Amino acid sequence: MKKIIFSLCFFILYLGAQEFKFIDANISKEDEGIYALVEKYVDLNNQIKEFKKNNDENSSTFNGILSEFEKDKKTILAKIPDMIVGQKINEEAVARFLKAKEKLLDVQKKNINKPYIYTDATLNLVYFNIVESFYSSLFEVEKLFKNTASSEDLIATVDKAMENLQNSSNVNLDSFKSKITNPEELEKITLKERYISNAVDSYSEILKYLRSNADLLESNYIFSLLELQVWIDRINEAIGVGFINIGKIVISALVLVFFISLRCFFANIVYFFLVQLFYRDKNDVDDIKVIVIENIKKPVGFFLIVYAISICLTIATYPAPLSINLSNFFHIVYAVLIAWLILKMLDGYGMVLVSKLAQKSGKKEVVNLIIKILYFVIIIIALLYILAQLGFNISAIIASLGIGGLAVALAAKDIIANFFASILLLFDNSFNQGDWVEVSGIEGTVVEIGLRKTTIRTFDNCLVFLPNSTIMGANIKNWSKRRMGRHVRMYLGVGYDATPEKLEQCVKDLREFLHTSDLVAHDEDSALKYGDHTTKYRQNLVSINDLEGYKNACYVALSEFADSSINIELYFYTKEIGGKDFREARQSLMLEFMRIIEKNGLTFAFPSRSIYIENLPPLDLQAKAIK
């Protein structure tokens, strides 16, 4: 409840601030205007063309200056969607425009036999038609923004506008230009044609920008579906507060409350559709319910909250669309959350279905491989989508991995091998920082996994650096991957004076002690006991105890008749795996072993040797005594 109240207060303050911000923004828009912004863009394009024409492309400053021009263009393009909504029709300017157009038509008709005047008037008319077509399309786009149209409607409108723009500029005046003999007049006509061509190119770039970002400029689906803008207007009309938009604040508060409440039981809705409708085996449906809901609760909750925030921001900016950068950010977040949700569903519901399939088919390895491939594919798709949203050319990235990358790969193959090996080590989860490992004869604690090398601190306090490519090709022993069960194998040697009955009873007592000791891992100490709800389904895919690191075997038996003793073999695993705890547990067990040996009247044997001497001369003890 506290979170809901905090979120509501935050968004009310935010929306209030946004309203005042938009008032200020609209004032600045009136000063600048969409026309001034577009003309600034046209002028920038003209400057770029002149710069390219008059400067050497190979100069050191060429690319730097050109990139600054492009940066300015992107800045203007980012402002245009918001400016479109703020544009206002100046009736006087429109009247002057139409009057000038009529005058040009009259000049064109009267001077058809005068090549220069006719051509000049025609080009002016072409420019007027282009401007009229372009700004008419912007007004159409404004209507779409205000009516919360979809990206398909926006694309269709822009495509039609671009077609009209091209049709308006397609005029052939070669026959009239050929009759102009004055070089100065020809130069003026050429300059005007260049200006018109530049204007057409600039207008086309603006329209293409709107088209390519149509999915980012479209209104939020829920905002459009529920026609929230209508309710905002009704609330504002009912309350009648002019200095702040109460309708936006009320609707945003309701949206937040609804989605924050929805996340509490939305996971149950997903469970119903996944399990109740598609899963036929009702025997373990309760376990599956826990698995599914627990796995998808967090990603679903985060997704609903982020979506609610996007709706509130759409409300805050209405009638202007969300900024493209902000929309892009939300698309990236959605991609991450959806990928997370799918992976969690694979961990939960997918694991149950796949385990059933593996149980029926008996092909555990194949099914397990399919799961890993699905994980990889989902992550790659999400990553490619995020890169595309960030502006990277995915096709170019893939192409650059071809012939162009071959030369670099050959020149720096060791560096690249170590780099990719480090990535594989991180994703392969062979070991983590702090693990006790043994690699290529080096045993110690992993200090760091770098991009080129892995650092290991040995137990004699020596720091060893191993190239990652070497590690990838070596056998790795990871002692820290044990969850329970550190191996102990020892032999208790008793003397040959032991009777079979005493030995049999001693072995029985030792076995009983190990099977009941809290320090020793038993059969019930397994991954099924300590794992989560998915564990019992995963055991159909892999040996779950070996995968998770549980060992619980326990054997006690006579093993051999040694030179000096009869050996009793003890083979078991302690529950404790840490160095200190393991040694203390082993000590306690050894002391108890001694007590059991003593209780059964047996003694520990120690190495002894018997010497046999043959044919010794008789000793005259009496003669030695006299002496």
pLDDT the model gives residue 353: 64
For residue 513, give Cα distances in angstroms to 424, 487, 493: 45, 17, 18
Rounded Cα gap, residues 37 and 542, in angstroms: 64
pLDDT the model gives residue 349: 64
Flag the least confident range among 224-238, 271-285, 323-337, 516-530.
Answer: 271-285
Rounded Cα gap, residues 183 and 562, in angstroms: 119
Q: Structure tokens of 364?
A: 């555990």
Rounded Cα gap, residues 470 and 449, in angstroms: 13
> Token pair 């998808």 is at which residue?
296
CATH of domain 425-478: 2.30.30.60
More confident residue, 362 or 201: 201
What is the identity of the amino acid at 172? N
Instruction: Please answer whether residues 62 and 56 qualify as being in contact, where contact means their C-beta atoms are separated by less than 8 angstroms.
Output: yes
Going across the sheet that includes 476-478, the strands are 463-467, 453-458, 442-449, 436-439, 476-478
DSSP string, 221-239: HHHHHTTHHHHHHHHHHHH
Would the pLDDT of 113 be above 60?
yes
For residue 609, give Cα distances in angstroms to 494, 525, 612: 16, 45, 10
| Residue 331 burial by Cβ neighbours in a 10 Å radius (0-12, 13-18, 19+) | middle
Q: Structure tokens of 155?
A: 């694309």
Alpha-carbon torsion 623, 624, 626, 627, what sign? positive
Tell me the average pLDDT across 169-183.
82
pLDDT the model gives residue 46: 87
Would the pLDDT of 6 be above 50?
no
pLDDT the model gives residue 292: 66
Helix/strand/coil (H, E, C) string of 20-42? HHHHHHHHHHHHHHHHHHHHHHH
pTM for this predicted structure:
0.54
pLDDT the model gives residue 118: 87
Would the pLDDT of 428 be above 70?
yes
For residue 415, give Cα distances in angstroms to 7, 14, 409, 476: 49, 49, 9, 22
Q: What is the pLDDT of residues 323-366, one digit of tens each?
A: 777 888 888 998 998 898 888 877 766 666 666 666 665 555 55
Flag the least confident range among 25-29, 107-111, 396-400, 503-507.
Answer: 25-29
Give residue 28's pLDDT band: very low, low, confident or very high (50, 70, 90).
very low
Tell me the average pLDDT across 544-551.
81
Rounded Cα gap, residues 455 and 433, in angstroms: 9
Tell me the average pLDDT across 607-617.
69
Would the pLDDT of 297 be above 50?
yes
Pairing, β 453-458 against β 463-467: antiparallel
Helix axes 351-361, 285-317, angle to 10 degrees: 140
**Helix or strand holding residue 442 (H, E):** strand 442-449
Task: List, in order, residues 6 or more apart from 4 with CB less than 8 Å away.
Answer: 256, 257, 260
Highest-pLDDT range among 270-279, 466-475, 587-596: 587-596
pLDDT the model gives residue 411: 56
Give residue 407's pLDDT band: very low, low, confident or very high (50, 70, 90).
low
Would the pLDDT of 17 be above 60?
no
Give residue 494's pLDDT band: very low, low, confident or very high (50, 70, 90).
very high
Would the pLDDT of 587 be above 80?
yes
More confident residue, 180 or 235: 180
Q: What is the pLDDT of residues 240-294, one digit of tens each?
A: 665 566 777 777 788 788 877 777 676 666 666 666 555 555 555 566 666 666 7
Rounded Cα gap, residues 318 and 415, in angstroms: 52
Flag the least confident range among 69-73, 261-265, 456-460, 465-469.
Answer: 261-265
Rounded Cα gap, residues 77 and 331, in angstroms: 20
pLDDT the model gives residue 18: 45
Pairing, β 566-574 against β 555-561: antiparallel
Beta bridge partners of 619: none
More confident residue, 217 or 118: 118
Rounded Cα gap, residues 529 and 248, in angstroms: 53
Phi, psi of 606 (to 5 degrees): -130, 155
Flag the least confident range among 57-71, 259-273, 585-599.
Answer: 259-273
Q: What is the pLDDT of residues 30-39, one digit of tens each?
A: 445 788 888 8
**Helix or strand holding residue 454 (H, E):** strand 453-458
What is the Cα Rg of the chain in Å?
41
More confident residue, 114 or 618: 114
Q: Quickly count: other Cβ atoms within 10 Å of residue 131's Cβ.
A: 17
Rounded Cα gap, residues 349 and 271, in angstroms: 9
pLDDT the model gives residue 2: 47
Rounded Cα gap, residues 517 and 343, in angstroms: 41
SS3 245: coil
> Token pair 């137990």 is at which residue?
459
pLDDT the model gives residue 4: 46
pLDDT the model gives residue 399: 66
Tell me the average pLDDT across 427-454.
84
Beta bridge partners of 493: 567
Give residue 508's pLDDT band: very low, low, confident or very high (50, 70, 90).
very high
Rounded Cα gap, residues 442 and 471, in angstroms: 11
pLDDT the model gives residue 512: 93
Flag the least confident range among 121-135, 416-430, 527-541.
Answer: 527-541
Helix, strand, coil percentages, rounded to 5, for the chain: 70, 10, 25
Tell me the average pLDDT across 203-207.
89
Instruction: Please answer whether residues 359 and 538 qualify as being in contact, where contact means their C-beta atoms are separated by less than 8 angstroms.
Output: no
HSE at residue 154, side-chain half, CA atoms within 13 A, is 25
Tell me the average pLDDT across 7-20.
45
Would the pLDDT of 1 be above 50?
no
Rounded Cα gap, residues 356 and 540, in angstroms: 7
pLDDT the model gives residue 368: 62
Task: List, in order, residues 6 or more apart from 210 with CB less than 8 Å away.
Answer: 80, 81, 141, 154, 158, 217
DSSP string, 336-366: HHHHHHHHHHIIIIIHHHHHHHHHHH--HHH
More confident residue, 221 or 137: 137
Q: Which of 200, 195, 136 is CA-nearest to residue 168?
A: 200
Rounded Cα gap, residues 114 and 105, in angstroms: 14
As a whole number, the mean pLDDT across the chain is 78
Beta bridge partners of 263: none
CATH architecture, domain 486-535+543-600: 2-Layer Sandwich (3.30)
Rounded Cα gap, residues 120 and 386, in angstroms: 50
Rounded Cα gap, residues 230 and 27, in angstroms: 25
Rounded Cα gap, residues 116 and 306, in angstroms: 62
Would the pLDDT of 574 be above 50?
yes
For residue 58, give Cα distances in angstroms to 53, 517, 585: 13, 82, 75
pLDDT the model gives residue 359: 62
Instruction: Please answer whether residues 483 and 527 qualify as being in contact, where contact means their C-beta atoms are separated by less than 8 angstroms.
Output: yes
Task: List, in order, residues 6 or more apart from 260 with CB less than 8 Å away.
Answer: 3, 4, 7, 304, 305, 308
What is the identity of the amino acid at 300? V
pLDDT the model gives residue 20: 38
